[in-house]
A and B are shown apart, each in its own frame.
Chain A
Amino acid sequence: MITLTGVTKQYTKDSIALHDIHLHIGSGEFVSIVGQSGSGKTTLVKLLIAEERPSKGKIDIGGWDITRISYDDIPHLRRQIGVIFQDFKLLPKKTINENVAFALQVAGEPSHRIREVVPRVLDIVGLGHKMHRYPYQISGGEQQRVVIARSLVHRPKILVADEPTGNLDSINTLEIIEILKKINEFGTTVVLVTHNRDVVNLLKRRVITLHEGKVIADEAIGKYRL
């Protein structure tokens, strides 16, 4: 599903974010990528959604070499990968319903399908009754659930979650992790980037540990070791 071959990302001569990364994440896997601040986790996410391009190496997603992706094809790639951000990245001037619908509108989905799908997805994340509210009118945990709804609405095969619980309390953190597990159970590959020890230890899934831009551990059922 996702294969990184010898990927290096160098910003300046002295700043190497990722160094010679070799990874393979299979279809339907739930992988946690852990590491301290500055270990290269966020750079890895940026490479996966083509926000950055590697300096060296190759990234293959579902048979698509995204290191050579054209500028015009980037939106098409992003419509196939769901992304959850730590800072939510919701459109402040759009309602919750409109935020989720936007992901389908950019993909050219017909209006009748959007009207049918969006409320259903919002119901799944427990926000159907708040669909006409604006992001500032709901809590942080609820905002993160809206982001999950937005990232799932076009049924992506891969979900990349970059520190999705970073701004949440422990109760909301557990809720979000439960939702991610359910999403994975339905067959979606989940890549969870986090530095939350409790979350990683609770999951008991594959853990890839990054340190100073290098993979220092890759365990099938791992623990947070840093």
Chain B
Amino acid sequence: MLSFLRVIKFAFQDMARNFSLSFMTVLILMLMLLSVNAVVVVRVLTAQAVSSIKEQIDLSIFFDHDVTESQIEDVKSHVNSFPEVTSVTYLTREEVLDAFKRQHEGSSDILSSIDELGSNPLGPTLIIKARDPSDYQKIITSLNVPEYEDSIEAKTFTDTEKAISRINAITTRVEQLSFGLSALFAIIAFLIIFNTIKVGIYTQRIEISIKKLVGATNWFIRGPYIVEATFFSLVAILLTMVFVFGAMRFLDPYIAIVFGTPSFLTGYFTSHILTLVPLQFFAVFTLTALTSLLAMRRYLRV
């Protein structure tokens, strides 16, 4: 117990007396953590953007205007049989016409053309939403059979199919890029911390050997470095979180314009703080402590 208390005392004494080195170590750890959190923000925003785009995708099945109720029911029950389908909305001919008129409110030519026809030229519509954009292809293929050829305008499927495949390609690429960026930052951060700690230990190599010659055990020498690693990690993570929350408060109004959700990033960090803080602390502490122990190993062989 006495030795443990002395180890803690020596750790804080060393940190105070090597203030510039302690300050630099915390600063480097903070820069690393800020980089990691920047990647977290990018990933969260990417995920939100992708999810928003996916939410806006639906599959509209436009029926011929002379389609019968039983044909519509057939298609509806066929579509509902897919487990990937989350919702099916049926719009009558009148509802489709109203929606069309609302959509083209400013175009008097289009509206007058409709009026000139005298009757509703539009058929009823089914709006289908699936769990994932890639699910639509399966539904489209299943509807592209002779059984439904007479009742459905097949051209609409082709347009949707192209859009969906493009969005799938973009989201996959964005996710790959985000993952690659995270991996790159993690490697850079690891190398910076590893070298900072290694240089720190190198400058204290003579002191380590003196302590050994005076009769200190390896634990008595290593102990303060473990305490310092814990303290540096704690301070770095606390300061990083202060910076991160400050930055989130600044960015949130701009993010709200895009996603329409107020305090989106602050909300994300607040709800995930119990995962993010311990995880980052554990990673930084393990890295600093392990690097310290490995770096001083050769100087303990006295």
- Give A residues with C-beta under 8 Å from B: 49, 51, 72, 75-76, 78-79, 83, 85, 89-93, 102-103, 105-108, 110-111, 150
Number of residues on chain B facing chain A (CB within 8 A): 18
Q: In the complex, what's the smallest C-beta–C-beta distance from B14 to chain A, in angstroms?
A: 7
Question: For B14, what are the chain A residues with a Cβ–Cβ distance below 8 Å?
Answer: 93
User: Is B86 positioned at the interface, with any CB of A under 8 Å from its CB?
Assistant: no
User: Is B99 positioned at the interface, with any CB of A under 8 Å from its CB?
Assistant: no
User: Is B215 positioned at the interface, with any CB of A under 8 Å from its CB?
Assistant: yes
Contact of B6 among A49, A83, A105, A150 (CB under 8 A): A105
Which one of B63-71, B139-147, B206-214 is at the interface? Answer: B206-214
- Are B214 and A78 in contact, with the CB atoms below 8 A? yes
Q: Top 6 A-B pairs ranked by shortest CB distance?
A: A79-B215, A78-B215, A106-B216, A93-B17, A89-B210, A75-B217
- Are B211 and A107 in contact, with the CB atoms below 8 A? no
Cβ < 8 Å to A, chain B residues 115-135 = none
Given the interface contacts A93-B207, A110-B2, does A103 sit within 8 Å of B302 by beta carbon?
no
A132 CA to B79 CA in the complex, in Å?
86
- Are A102 and B302 in contact, with the CB atoms below 8 A? no
A72 CA to B14 CA in the complex, in Å?
25
A48 CA to B220 CA in the complex, in Å?
23
Question: For B13, what are the chain A residues with a Cβ–Cβ distance below 8 Å?
Answer: 93
- Are B213 and A106 in contact, with the CB atoms below 8 A? no
- Are B217 and A78 in contact, with the CB atoms below 8 A? no
Chain B contact surface mostly: helix
- Are A102 and B207 in contact, with the CB atoms below 8 A? no
Task: Please name the residue on chain B nearest to A79 by beta carbon.
Answer: B215
Question: For A78, what are the chain B residues with a Cβ–Cβ distance below 8 Å?
Answer: 212-215
- Give B residues with C-beta under 8 Å from A: 2-3, 6, 13-14, 17-18, 207, 210-217, 220, 302
Chain A contact surface mostly: loop
- Are B214 and A93 in contact, with the CB atoms below 8 A? no
Task: Please name the residue on chain A nearest to B214 by beta carbon.
Answer: A103
Q: In the complex, what's the smallest C-beta–C-beta distance from B24 to chain A, in angstroms?
A: 16
A45 CA to B207 CA in the complex, in Å?
20
Question: For B217, what are the chain A residues with a Cβ–Cβ distance below 8 Å?
Answer: 72, 75, 106
- Are A75 and B215 in contact, with the CB atoms below 8 A? yes
Question: For B17, what are the chain A residues with a Cβ–Cβ distance below 8 Å?
Answer: 93
- Are B213 and A107 in contact, with the CB atoms below 8 A? no
- Are B215 and A90 in contact, with the CB atoms below 8 A? no
Question: For A72, what are the chain B residues with a Cβ–Cβ distance below 8 Å?
Answer: 217
Q: In the complex, what's the smallest C-beta–C-beta distance from A62 to chain B, in angstroms?
A: 15
- Are B211 and A51 in contact, with the CB atoms below 8 A? no
**A/B interface sample: 8 pairs, CB < 8 A:** A78-B214, A78-B215, A92-B207, A93-B207, A102-B211, A103-B215, A105-B6, A106-B215
Given the interface contacts A90-B210, A91-B207, A106-B211, does A75 sit within 8 Å of B3 by beta carbon?
no
Question: For A51, what are the chain B residues with a Cβ–Cβ distance below 8 Å?
Answer: 213, 302
Task: Please name the residue on chain B nearest to A110 by beta carbon.
Answer: B2
A105 CA to B220 CA in the complex, in Å?
10
Task: Please name the residue on chain A nearest to B217 by beta carbon.
Answer: A75
Question: For A105, what are the chain B residues with a Cβ–Cβ distance below 8 Å?
Answer: 6
Question: For B302, what are the chain A residues with a Cβ–Cβ distance below 8 Å?
Answer: 51
A72 CA to B217 CA in the complex, in Å?
8
Q: In the complex, what's the smallest C-beta–C-beta distance from B214 to chain A, in angstroms?
A: 5
Contact of B214 among A76, A108, A111, A150 (CB under 8 A): A150
Q: In the complex, what's the smallest C-beta–C-beta distance from B10 to chain A, in angstroms?
A: 8
- Are A76 and B215 in contact, with the CB atoms below 8 A? yes
A103 CA to B213 CA in the complex, in Å?
10
- Are A106 and B220 in contact, with the CB atoms below 8 A? yes
- Are B207 and A49 in contact, with the CB atoms below 8 A? no
Question: For A103, what are the chain B residues with a Cβ–Cβ distance below 8 Å?
Answer: 214-215
